Structures are given as structure tokens and as C-alpha cells.
Amino acid sequence: MKIFSGTKYSRLAEQICLNFTNFTLGNLKIDIFSDGEILPCFLESIRDIDVFFINSSDCSDSIMETLLVVDAAKRSGCKSFTLVSPYSGYSRQDKSDHLRSSIGSKLLADILEKAGVNRLITIDLHSSAIQGFYNIPVIHLNGNIPTIDYIKSLELDNLCIVAPDQGAVKRASDFCKAFPEANFALINKRRVKPNEIHSMELVGDVTGKNIIIVDDMADTLGTMAKASELLLKNGAISVRCVATHGVLSGKALENLKNSEILEVIVIDTIHSVWKKAEFLANESGQQKIKIISCDRLIARTISALMQKKSIHEINMI
């Protein structure tokens, strides 16, 4: 078994290999020509080897890079190809919400299978139903696990876990299992269109509480910023946000900088979060983005697969 990484995920791949000394980081060269064409080449034999490739599908270039690496691996005689995609892009396109629109996550599943991916490891799909789009094994890891220890280390009293909308209720309820003394609240949100909120109302008592908002992704942070205002107006002491994927697109950094949110805790499933956190810290002088690595969660999963052990315990809170 050998681990390889995409152009932007060498940092995560190295951390995964450091967690388990029997993991080997393979030698893969990925050339990018001046016109943007991608050419991957394995610089060592991978014949009859189980290949694990670390690369999130956070942009079209990363998806194309993954497809070409799969093709190169299959042509080089690898035994199996497991794609470790901590963040699966297009997962918000899991159904046709608009007339004559695409279903991006289904198309991505078909393309990856056709290219030759034998197994997918991912963290917190936007909709767990996306697993059904694949005809290969999908290992769906719980993104709450890496962040729980950090929240516990803060030793916050009067904790309240908040779901920012109806879609996050299950994820927030799952997070509550690690904090049995915490209260639970919900924000009922109505949208006019994507990334634009019409109204919000709070369901539950947050007076005198330290708030942890739990969601699967931090995108423009418009919802988080407005939710924090609503919570503080209703008597909350502090507001922190926990999200698996730090997408941080559009005006996200500006929204965070101008909000009352103490910090946003995300996992390093998307490579660009490191640069964005550094940029915000340099610009505002505040360390408002806390990054927790998913390296150990992925390393333990790969180890269990290689030893043919159950992954159930790894994935439980």
C-alpha cells in the first residue's frame, strides 16, 4: 500500500503518513503545462499495489487531476485505487431543484467510477443520500470527530449547541452526544435564493449560554454572521461556529471580520483554508479561523482497511 497526493494536498498526505510509520508516501510527479494541461506520472512501480490518492474535488482542476491520476495508476497496473477526497465538490447538487438543471454530484460519481476508482473515502457529504449515487464502496466519515476534542479543551460552561437551519439538525444533534449537559436550539431560516436569507427565527432558549453553531460547511458565512447577531440579541454570551469544510468563498473573510463570531473552527479538508486563515490574521490582527487536521481520522481509516478491521468504532462519537 502507498499513499500519493494531489498537487495541493501534499501537506495533508505527509501528516497522514506521520501518524502511522508503516505508511509510505509515494513519488508522484504532476506537471502542469503553460496552457493548463495536467500530466501525472508515477516515478516508481505501483504494479499490484493498493493506491490511496489524497485529493479533494474542491475545484474543476482538482477533479481533472484526479481523473488523470486514476488513469495513470490503472495503466501502471495498480491492484486497487482508493480516492481519499476529504471534501467532495458538487455535493450541494444532489437533486434537480431548478427546471432543466444538472445533478452535479451524480455526474461526478459516474465519472469517477468510469475512470476506475474502486473505493471512495470522504468526510461529511452535504447529503448522505449521495452515497447511493456510487456503485463502489463509499466510506463516509464523521466530520464532528476532529473538532470535538478542541471544543472540550475550551472548557466552556453553559454550552448550547445550535443548528443554523433544519438541514443541520441531525449533524448538530450528533455533536450533542459528546456534550450531554449542553442545551440544543434551532434557527429556522428561509431563503429567497442560494446565499441570500429572507428571515431567521430562534427556536429555544440561549440566555446566558456559550453557543456552538454546527454545520457541514462554512461558505460565505452570511448565515453564520446573521445567526450570531440573532443569538447575541437573545442573550447568548459568546458564539463560535464549527464547520467541517472551510469553503470560505465570496465575502466570507469580510463577513467573519465584521461579525461578533469569536472563531470559526474548520477541518483542513480544503487546502485553501490555510492561506485564507493566514490572510485574515494578517489583515485584522485576529486569529478568527481555527483549523483542525483530519489527518488522524483518515490515517486510522486507511489502517483499518489495510488490516481488514471495522471502521464503525473510528466513526463513532
* Residues taking part in catalysis: 189
Q: Greatest CA separation found in the chain?
A: 62
Q: Report the length, in residues, of the chain.
A: 317
> For residue 268, what are the CA distances in angstroms to 6, 149, 151, 201?
14, 16, 16, 31
Helix (H) or strand (E) holding 223: helix 222-233
Q: Residues of 145-156 as b/e, b for ≥16 C-beta within 10 angstroms? A: bbbbeebeeeeb
d(CA 296, CA 285): 30
- 212 sits in the region (left: phi over 0; alpha: psi -120 to 50; else beta) called beta
CA geometry: angle 223, 269, 276, nearest 5 deg: 65
d(CA 108, CA 99): 20
Q: Among all chains, which residue has been given the C-alpha cell 489527518?
A: 295
d(CA 35, CA 108): 24
Please, which residues have CB within 8 angstroms of residue 116's CB and are 6 or more apart in sequence?
70, 71, 73, 74, 81
